[in-house]
Amino acid sequence: MNQTSTDSLLITAIRTAIDAGIAILEIYNSHYETTFKSDQSPLTTADLHAHEVIFDRLKETGIPVLSEEGAEIPFETRKNWKTYWLVDPLDGTREFVKRNGEFTVNIALMVDDQPVAGVIYIPVKDILYFGSRELGSFRMGSGISKPALTADTFREFTSRCERLPLKESSGPLVLLASRSHLTAETREIIGKAEKQSHESLVVSVGSSIKFCKLAEGTADFYPRLGPTMEWDTAAGQAIAEATGMEVRVWPELAPMTYNKPSLLNPSFIAYNPDRIDTSVF
């Protein structure tokens, strides 16, 4: 897939993520219902509405869509996909229910079962992260006008966004922990990482915002030694890796793989290789 094609699809994903975020906020600021899936994870009407918005928009590209709220597509069908969208319509539903604002819309473009481009939108803060392998990654801060993006205006739009990383990491190591899913194993590896610096700071953050922090250069290490799904990580991995961060299966340190028969991720670590020495773990 050439850069022009990737840019065009990235534009579609950006528009779609923002529209889904607007739909989520309408529900967030009014009344919504919460139910629970078979694994006891929460599901709200906002998840479902965002899924509908995203699915309707992305299907117009002619590329298959694999979404958390439509994950019943069998592997026998999925295994033949060379290119597809991998979507979490509302990542951080627990944060949504807690009303702390730390939830996102995640859209990743997948090619050969790897994330090649990603979009993460934080509706409450009106902040957008996006990037691809060829383009690099960017942050659109709140208040930046959102033009009717086209192939002709996209590069001008990126020039008004902030290129990531915002800064080179320095000072204390910033270690990220999940706000709602911190395990004893994760605490242990965070403790080992803390020993790599005289100063360190552990910060709890919800949803895929952790990948955004890595991409910004405002955090150095995010271990996740507990269950996640492929749609939780793909967009964030694309954005973070486009800035030089690494995402590896733990403890093998092998590359992450996607579109598996089971969509459950293995444990993984995401990190700044200039700041974290994985050989000491």
| pLDDT tens-place string over residues 84-114 | 999 999 998 888 888 899 999 999 999 999 9
What distance separates the 2 farthest-apart alpha carbons in the chain?
52
Q: Quick check: 262 pLDDT over 90?
A: yes
Angle at alpha carbon of residue 165, lines to 159 and 166, rounded to 5°: 75
Question: Sign of torsion, CA 227 55 154 259?
Answer: positive
Q: What is the mean pLDDT of the chain?
A: 90
User: CA nearest 16: which of 111, 132, 105?
Assistant: 105
The predicted structure's pLDDT at residue 45: 85
Q: What is the DSSP letter of 60?
A: G
**Residues 123-163 pLDDT 10s:** 999 999 999 999 999 999 877 666 678 878 888 889 989 99
Is 8:111 a contact under the CB 8 Å cutoff?
A: no
Q: Quick check: 40 pLDDT over 60?
A: no
* Beta-carbon contacts of residue 158 (< 8 Å; ≥ 6 apart): 135, 138
Is 154:7 a contact under the CB 8 Å cutoff?
A: yes
Q: What is the DSSP letter of 120?
A: E
State pTM to two decimals: 0.93
Amino acid residing at 61: T
The whole-angstrom separation of Cα 119 and Cα 133 is: 13
Give the chain's domains with CATH numbers: 3-164 (3.30.540.10), 173-280 (3.40.190.80)
Backbone angles phi, psi at 56, to 5 degrees: -60, -40
